[in-house]
């Protein structure tokens, strides 16, 4: 690998971006030492992807092409998906983010899919599945004369397997599960995540058909079909099923919906197979065993003198298509079947980020007809030029092998290198690297508070807002603090009205405009658009239903919603859940929620754990009642002293927390890793302090007593990032931290 020809100080690379790169992307040795700079990383990627040109032209000027790719990335005009940045030019070499695997209706096929899933997750990818081929629960199994356990039971196997694979600490496994609405198990599927402790490694979406939606509109029954024999085995009222989907989404954001007939209407290779599923965030419909590599153009960098620089945008589009097509050649696929199907269709997904930035720089409010109109114009331009670039590559390199019988062949189109060209993906982490807004989403926040490792509190300000505020003369540190605390600029009179109009955030935009924007980009996107429609906590079930219907009516291929606070788990509440759920009209029931401290029974069972600390042995007794962990006592081996009193205080606070409904994992998270002047032990037995000893004892107790250690201590509330404690935003069907780059969906 040649060294970068420019300074390692990449212009525009923020301190936060550099931190994310170092933590997640840069090459390390076996001891964890970072071996490359950000510019080295970009050069590594550029060299690797450019080298693929040699497969088609032995005389290709790979060095010049590498420079082009390098500039495109370091100018943040375009960035590929995270696996390409992480793995290009490294031994793993797996460069794709999106995979779909088939799940057949036999034990052999199901567990083959589980094995293949593990291999894909190990390599850094996410997987999508349709479980619609599996016979329903209690159906006949002829080979054993037994009965089927149904799709949900096998989904649990995939969920557990995903939890086991940690992907080398850089990317978590993520799955999409889709079930057809005419599957007999559809009602169980709709409700499978009502208990938020279930299927936490899955996003779920119901696959809706045109027949079903027509039945919804007419309030009619529709047929359920057993996938085993394709025979009708019952019927349901379509409107009631649709309302159940809506109500469940209102309660916790899932299930989403995908319109299967629309996915297959735009399936470029219908003779090859039927599209059954998408990748985890829903934007990439794929055939079984197909993968797709994605990349995004940063629209915020293409504003010149107050207008869109169409000429430079065209140049980057063509270079980006060239880049993504080369990725297919440079990629090291986890399975031969995936290699073969991907090469046969050569799908790429060129999308955008920085859309909100572009609108701000043009002075156009996100929630306006002008913005929707521009969205159509920009995406049409990207799609048209992207296909033109693919045709030019097709003339030089040949069409994708499955071209015959494709939609391009039927239209008599020119040679086409790629079966699909455009996709709008969420860009959580790469938009942090580019310091841009994510995907086609509005701003997450204008300013927010970030707590760094040394507990210092920093005010993070949108760079465009900060620059405009200084240019217009209303910038001040106190104003930035006020915005961060307020969460919005809308009600701050010191900020000019025209600035307030363009700096709107996701929760300040009406759901209708969220859908209109998604529809605008979908109109000129080959695959699908990843977007989350944000609702306030006070939104009604009818509000969600309206948006789901609007998504159908405006041509979207699917939709994901999130009502603010709907996934924040309240352990103990007053009132009955059934009574709360009964209100399906207007406003959700305003029920008083408060933690209720459990009373101590006369007798409790428990165990005492001895932990060796720097202050001597610490004996930690953990007791349980019928609801779980209840109280914790500590006894120091050495009498008296500050350590003994502090340990007793920790025990009392932990006991109070548990009795008030706080989960064990939250206590562990707060205590684990606290260090003092006198640690003890080595390796896995190293104890940093008495507080750290308590955390380790709780973990040991959970393991010894059969608790699910992963769900108890690793899972996190969706409101806070598990790695940095920052605010998690819901976008594209996923939870993303805009501070450190953590993504729940890999």
User: In this structure, are residues 177 and 200 in contact, taking their beta carbons and an 8 Å threshold?
Assistant: no
CB neighbourhood size of 263 (10 A): 22
CA atoms within 13 A on the CB side of 674: 17
For residues 441 and 504, give the distance between their C-alpha atoms in angstroms, rounded to a whole number: 11
Instruction: Convert the pLDDT of each residue in 598-619 to its tens digit.
Output: 778 878 888 999 988 888 889 9
For residues 17 and 434, give the distance between their C-alpha atoms in angstroms, rounded to a whole number: 7
For strand 202-208 and strand 175-180, is the pairing parallel, antiparallel, or unpaired? Answer: parallel
Residues 478 and 421 in one domain: no
pTM: 0.80
Judged by average pLDDT, the poorest of 364-368, 529-533, 549-553, 612-616 is: 612-616
Query: What is the average per-residue pLDDT within 361-367?
Result: 97
Do the domain assignments include residue 218? no
pLDDT of residue 584: 32
Residue 395 has pLDDT above 90, yes or no: yes
The number of folded domains in the chain is 3
Q: Residue 190: which H helix or E strand, with range?
A: helix 186-190
Residues 73 and 22 in one domain: yes
Residues 421 and 466 in one domain: no
For residues 571 and 568, give the distance between their C-alpha atoms in angstroms, rounded to a whole number: 10
Determine the angle formed by the axes of helices 62-74 and 38-50, rounding to 10 degrees: 140
Judged by average pLDDT, the poorest of 216-220, 495-499, 736-740 is: 736-740
Residue 168 has pLDDT above 70, yes or no: no
pLDDT of residue 143: 65
For residues 518 and 513, give the distance between their C-alpha atoms in angstroms, rounded to a whole number: 8
Residues 421 and 309 in one domain: yes
Residues 707 and 648 in one domain: yes
Residues 331 and 451 in one domain: no
Residues 609 and 685 in one domain: yes
- 469 lies in which domain range? 445-504
Q: Annotated active-site positions, please?
A: 279, 281, 283
Does residue 237 or residue 670 have the better pLDDT?
237
Q: What is the 3-state secondary structure (H, E, C) of 322-367?
A: HHHHHHHHHCCCCCHHHHHHHHHHCCEEEEEECHHHHHHHHCCCCC
Residues 34 and 74 in one domain: yes
Do the domain assignments include residue 312? yes
Query: What is the average per-residue pLDDT within 25-49?
Result: 96
Do the domain assignments include residue 306? yes
pLDDT of residue 586: 33
How would residue 640 be classed by pLDDT, with cut points 50, 70 and 90?
Answer: low
Instruction: Convert the pLDDT of each residue in 446-470 to its tens digit.
Output: 987 765 544 455 678 899 999 999 9
DSSP tally for the chain: helices H, then strands E: 26, 25
Residues 467 and 361 in one domain: no
Residues 480 and 395 in one domain: no
How would residue 732 be classed by pLDDT, with cut points 50, 70 and 90?
Answer: low
Residues 309 and 421 in one domain: yes
């Amino acid at each position: 690998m040649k060294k970068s020809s420019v300074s390692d100080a990449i212009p525009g690379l923020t301190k936060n971006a550099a931190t994310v790169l170092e933590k997640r992307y840069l090459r390390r040795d076996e001891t964890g030492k970072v071996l490359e700079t950000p510019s080295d990383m970009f050069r590594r990627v550029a060299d690797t992807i450019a080298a693929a040109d040699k497969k088609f032209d032995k005389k290709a000027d790979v060095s010049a092409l590498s420079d082009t790719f390098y500039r495109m990335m370091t100018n943040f005009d375009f960035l590929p998906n995270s696996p390409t940045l992480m793995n290009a030019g490294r031994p793993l070499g797996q460069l794709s983010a999106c995979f779909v695997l088939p799940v057949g209706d036999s034990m052999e096929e199901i567990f083959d899919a589980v094995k293949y899933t593990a291999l894909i997750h190990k390599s850094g990818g996410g997987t999508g599945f349709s479980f619609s081929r599996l016979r329903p629960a209690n159906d006949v199994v002829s080979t054993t004369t037994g009965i089927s356990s149904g799709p949900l039971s096998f989904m649990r196997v995939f969920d557990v397997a995903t939890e086991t694979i940690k992907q080398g600490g850089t990317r978590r496994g993520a799955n999409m599960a889709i079930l057809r609405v005419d599957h007999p198990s559809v009602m169980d599927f709709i409700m499978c995540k009502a208990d938020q402790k279930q299927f936490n490694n899955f996003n779920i979406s119901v696959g809706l058909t045109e027949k079903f939606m027509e039945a919804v509109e007419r309030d009619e029954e529709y047929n359920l079909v057993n996938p085993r024999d394709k025979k009708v085995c019952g019927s349901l009222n379509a409107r009631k099923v649709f309302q159940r989907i809506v109500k469940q989404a209102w309660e916790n954001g899932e299930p989403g919906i995908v319109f299967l007939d629309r996915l297959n209407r735009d399936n470029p290779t219908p003779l090859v197979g039927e599209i059954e599923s998408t990748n985890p965030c829903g934007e990439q419909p794929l055939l079984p065993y197909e993968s797709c590599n994605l990349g995004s153009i940063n629209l915020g960098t293409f504003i010149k003198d107050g207008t869109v620089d169409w000429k430079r945008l065209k140049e980057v589009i063509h270079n980006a298509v060239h880049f993504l097509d080369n990725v297919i050649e440079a990629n090291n696929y986890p399975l031969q079947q995936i290699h073969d199907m991907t090469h046969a269709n050569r799908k790429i997904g060129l999308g955008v980020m920085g859309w909100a930035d572009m609108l701000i720089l043009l002075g156009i409010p996100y929630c306006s007809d002008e913005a929707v109109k521009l969205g159509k114009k920009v995406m049409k331009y990207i799609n048209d030029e992207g296909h033109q670039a693919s045709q030019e590559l097709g003339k030089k390199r040949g069409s994708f092998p499955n071209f015959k019988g494709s939609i391009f062949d039927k239209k008599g189109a020119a040679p086409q290198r790629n079966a699909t060209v455009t996709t709008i993906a969420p860009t959580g982490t790469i938009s942090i690297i580019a310091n841009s807004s994510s995907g086609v989403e509005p701003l997450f926040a204008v300013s927010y508070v970030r707590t760094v490792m040394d507990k210092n509190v920093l005010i993070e300000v949108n760079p465009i807002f900060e620059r405009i505020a200084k240019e217009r003369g209303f910038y001040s540190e106190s104003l930035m603090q006020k915005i961060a605390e307020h969460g919005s600029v809308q009600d701050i009179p010191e900020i000019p009205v025209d600035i307030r109009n363009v700096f709107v955030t996701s929760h300040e935009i009406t759901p209708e405009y969220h859908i209109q924007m998604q529809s605008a980009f979908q109109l000129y996107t080959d695959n699908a658009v990843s977007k989350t429609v944000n609702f306030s906590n006070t939104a009604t079930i009818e509000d969600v239903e309206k948006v789901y219907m609007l998504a159908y009516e405006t041509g979207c291929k699917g939709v994901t919603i999130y009502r603010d606070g709907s996934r924040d788990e309240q352990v103990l509440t007053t009132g009955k859940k059934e009574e709360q759920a009964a209100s399906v009209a207007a406003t959700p029931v305003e029920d008083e929620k408060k933690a209720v401290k459990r009373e101590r029974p006369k007798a409790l069972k428990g165990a005492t754990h001895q932990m060796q600390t720097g202050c001597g042995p610490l004996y930690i007794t953990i007791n349980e009642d019928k609801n779980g962990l209840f109280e914790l006592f500590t006894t120091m081996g050495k009498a008296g002293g500050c350590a003994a009193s502090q340990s007793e205080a920790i025990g009392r606070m932990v006991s109070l927390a548990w009795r008030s409904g706080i989960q064990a994992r939250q206590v562990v998270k707060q205590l684990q890793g606290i260090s003092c002047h006198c640690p003890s032990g080595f390796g896995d037995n190293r104890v940093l302090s008495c507080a750290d000893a308590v955390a380790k004892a709780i973990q040991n107790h959970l393991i010894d007593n059969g608790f699910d250690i992963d769900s108890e201590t690793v899972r996190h509330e969706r409101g806070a990032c598990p790695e940095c404690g920052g605010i998690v935003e819901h976008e594209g069907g996923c939870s993303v931290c805009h501070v450190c780059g953590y993504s729940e969906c890999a």
